[in-house]
Amino acid sequence: MHINRALRALIIDDSEDDALLLIRELRRNGLAIEYETVASAKDMGEMLKNKSWDFILCDFVIPGFGGMEALSTFKEFGLNMPFILVSGKIPEEEAIEALKSGAGDFILKQNLSRLYPALIRELDDANSRKAKRRALEELLQTKNALEELNATLARKVEEEVEKNRQKDAVMIHQSRLAVMGDMLSVVAHHWRQPLNALGLIIQDVKEAKKYGEMTDEYIDGMIAGAMGQINLMSKTIDDFRGFFRPKETIETFLLKDNINGGVELLKPQLDEYNITVNAVCDKDMSKCDTCDTRLICGYQSELNQVILNILLNAKDAIREKQKTTGVKEGAINISFTHPKDTKSVIISISDNGGGIKTGVADKIFEPYFTTKEQGKGIGIGLYMSKVIVEQNFKGKIGIKNIQGGVEATIELPLAIDA
């Protein structure tokens, strides 16, 4: 044991000379000692209460006081330090009794050379008791903290899950709004042609009047023509709303309708940019029982959103490539595979838009990650698609570069009744 300070000793003895003898013996062995002496229970109590000590040496026989009484006062304080009895003579039974009652050792004054090793041993013991107690306390604290954590863990997990659910709900909504922005230009493309036709019809009325051709038949024909165009426009709006209207309940639906709906909506825009869409199935698509089979799903509009996100990304990539390389055509290929013995279908949507930019492939599913210029993308399309596919459809989504472009795959479990 390494001691680098003066030890504080409380000596219980009625003889100052005897006390000094003990101290001298310890100092002779190299210990620095500061000490005080008391000779009554009251003084001993005061000293223990008001000062801190490293050990106690106690004479066994003191007039009006005694070793055993001092020992019981010492025990009342519950202190962890050596208590060593020292005496000129001590009957064997009493010595045994004292040791049983908590004295560390007893030393005969005639044999003081035992004092130093006994004290060092007792100090060591006290130290290791202290370390053990501290370790035990720490263990207890950890145990309590763990119990506390255990009790609150379930609640905390629930709270976090709920928070995440709310965050995702907000993002699904946000993403729907973002796609809506794209949809406005989709509607504009759908309307361009009927609006042109309506303009021609209206201009023709003026000509017909000028040349006296305003017959009943002419007016009927004109009204029918104009109404036809107006119905076309209103159908676009209905299709558009139907595609996006969030349903209140989970439903089953045809996968083919879902994909076709997305492609139909984008058709005028894709046509304008010379982007062709090919859809193939590893069975005969026209009578593929699996594509015609119902899927378990969350909300159909959410899967529509996923398909649109991927189609829009493909269109954006192809447009970008057209602008930078001057290539005029683009292609999107959609294929369905139905792996044998699995209750799932894999939809693959690939494009030839040049692929994911270098170094960003591992970030594209992060929320708000985009490589598009400001105003063109907010970077939640793929994040939301992943949340929807994995959480709401219990499926998988993956995106990877292929020769000349990107392939997105979505694996969806089929409905149990499929």
Shortest distance, position 229 Cβ to ligand ATP, whole Å: 31
CB-nearer residue toward ligand ATP: 26 or 314: 314
Q: With CB cut-offs between 5 and 8 Å by kind, which of Mg ion, ligand ATP, none does residue 85 bind?
A: none
Shortest distance, position 227 Cβ to Mg ion, whole Å: 37
Shortest distance, position 349 Cβ to ligand ATP, whole Å: 8
* Cα 280 to Cα 256, 284, 317, 330, 405, distances in angstroms: 11, 8, 22, 17, 18
CB-nearer residue toward ligand ATP: 204 or 320: 320
State which of positions 295-324 bind ligand ATP (CB under 6 A).
309, 313-314, 317
CB-nearer residue toward ligand ATP: 268 or 381: 381
| Rounded distance between C-alpha atoms, residue 37 and residue 52, angstroms | 14
Near Mg ion by CB under 5 A: residue from 381, 384, 387, 395: 381
| Rounded distance between C-alpha atoms, residue 413 and residue 396, angstroms | 9
Residue 65's H or E segment, with its range, is: strand 65-66
Q: With CB cut-offs between 5 and 8 Å by kind, which of Mg ion, ligand ATP, none does residue 356 bind?
A: ligand ATP
Q: Which residues pair with 351 in a beta bridge?
A: 332, 406
- How many CA within 13 A on the CB side of residue 291? 21
Closest CA to 312 of 361, 381, 244: 381
Alpha helices in 285-395 (DSSP H): 300-325, 381-387
Q: Which stretch binds ligand ATP (CB under 6 A): 10-18, 184-192, 242-250, 375-383?
A: 375-383
Q: With CB cut-offs between 5 and 8 Å by kind, which of Mg ion, ligand ATP, none does residue 81 bind?
A: none
Residue 184's H or E segment, with its range, is: helix 115-210
Shortest distance, position 388 Cβ to ligand ATP, whole Å: 12
Does 37 contact ligand ATP by CB under 6 A? no
Near Mg ion by CB under 5 A: residue from 290, 305, 313, 385: 313
Q: Which stretch binds ligand ATP (CB under 6 A): 107-115, 224-232, 262-270, 352-360?
A: 352-360
* Tokens at 417, concatenated: 């009744």
- How many CA within 13 A on the CB side of residue 274? 11
Near ligand ATP by CB under 6 A: residue from 120, 378, 415, 418: 378
Instruction: Please state at what angle helix 216-244 crosses helix 255-272, rounded to 10 degrees.
Output: 120
**Length of the chain, in residues:** 418
| Rounded distance between C-alpha atoms, residue 372 and residue 369, angstroms | 9
Shortest distance, position 365 Cβ to ligand ATP, whole Å: 7
Near ligand ATP by CB under 6 A: residue from 53, 218, 244, 369: 369
- Number of Cβ within 10 Å of residue 319's Cβ equals 15
Q: Are 384 and 366 in contact (CB under 8 A)?
A: no
Name the one residue in this structure whose structure tokens are 């009943």. 216
State which of positions 111-150 bind ligand ATP (CB under 6 A).
none
Does 364 contact ligand ATP by CB under 6 A? yes
Shortest distance, position 192 Cβ to ligand ATP, whole Å: 23
* Tokens at 325, concatenated: 């390389």
Q: Which residues contact 303 (CB under 8 A, 6 or more apart)?
A: 258, 297, 388, 393, 412
Shortest distance, position 330 Cβ to ligand ATP, whole Å: 11
Distance of CA 158 to the CA centre of its chain: 12
Does 82 contact Mg ion by CB under 5 A? no
Does 353 contact ligand ATP by CB under 6 A? yes
Does 174 contact ligand ATP by CB under 6 A? no
Q: Which stretch binds ligand ATP (CB under 6 A): 151-159, 263-271, 275-283, 380-388?
A: 380-388
Q: Which residues bind ligand ATP (CB under 6 A)?
A: 178, 309, 313-314, 317, 351, 353, 355-357, 360, 364, 369-372, 377-383, 406
Q: Which residues bind Mg ion (CB under 5 A)?
A: 313, 381
